[in-house]
Chains A and B, each alone.
Chain A
Amino acid sequence: QSVLTQPPSVSGAPGQRVTISCSGSRSNIGAGYDVHWYRQVPGTAPKLLIFGNTDRPSGVPDRISGAKSGASASLAITGLQAEDEADYYCQSYDPSLGGVVFGGGTKLTVL
């Protein structure tokens, strides 16, 4: 069981908007630690999508955004495209658990 809780799966039609939630606790996200997001196409390495709750690395389109509130965070993808179909992971920090913690991952299916 992962420290950060994500829904196992979400889906949406092309062009729609989807959100993926990431729920933590008072010892990690709720303590003020930043949340980061990664996208992983099966069979390949994860790629950084959002860092510092809301910032995008260069090359990530602005239809992908992150937000954080309290002990939870979310990733939003608008204008859904077939290439968005992948697994998504949130990540934060929890000193009570020894350091970096990940969510269990969410599989996004584009219908």
Chain B
Amino acid sequence: EVQLLESGGGLGRPGGSLRLSCAASGLSFSNHAMSWVRQAPGKGLEWVSGISAGGSDTYHADSVKGRFTISRDNSRNALYLQMNSLRVDDTAVYYCVKRNSAMFGFYFDSWGPGTLVTVSS
């Protein structure tokens, strides 16, 4: 059974930084693309960042481009999200998700429980 467990959430200051981690188990981690998806309080889901299985290709939503960086360490079965220049509207639960390929497009077949990031002065 795939298990994903996020950590690193908490209170961040506007303009500050936080680093999220995701520990993966129950899968051949290095064979799978991964992503981060977030959900602001009372709002819907928003894709944030994605990374290829080997880590060479990364993708970010326009809302976080230039501020967030996704990375992974396949030797540690770990996924990361470095969040810089935090803004109040980055406040959300951040989910670590395993990406799978459809015939045309992608979907997310495993989700962690999420970690809450609150950005406030």
Contact = CB atoms under 8 A, between A and B. Distances in A.
Given A46-B45, A102-B44, A32 B104 contact: yes
A48 B111 CA distance: 9
Interface in B45-85: 45-47, 50, 59, 61-62
A90 to B, nearest CB: 10
B112 to A, nearest CB: 7
A34 B104 contact: yes
A77 B105 CA distance: 24
- Contact residues of B: prevailing secondary structure: strand
B44 A51 contact: no
Interface stretch (A13-21, A78-86, A91-99): A91-99
B59 A34 contact: no
B73 to A, nearest CB: 23
Interface string B89-105: 00000010000101111
B47 A33 contact: no
B12 interface: no
A100 B44 contact: no
Interface residues of A, number: 26
Given A45-B112, A100-B35, A105 B106 contact: no
A105 B109 CA distance: 18
Interface residues of B, number: 24
Given A45-B95, A52-B107, A103-B44, 7 more contacts: A36-B102, A36-B105, A36-B108, A48-B110, A52-B102, A89-B44, A102-B47
12 contacts: A34-B102, A34-B103, A34-B104, A38-B45, A45-B113, A48-B109, A57-B109, A89-B44, A98-B61, A99-B47, A102-B47, A105-B44
Contacts of B105: 33-34, 36, 92-93
B58 to A, nearest CB: 11
Interface in A8-40: 32-34, 36, 38
Given A34-B103, A34-B104, A46-B45, A99 B95 contact: no
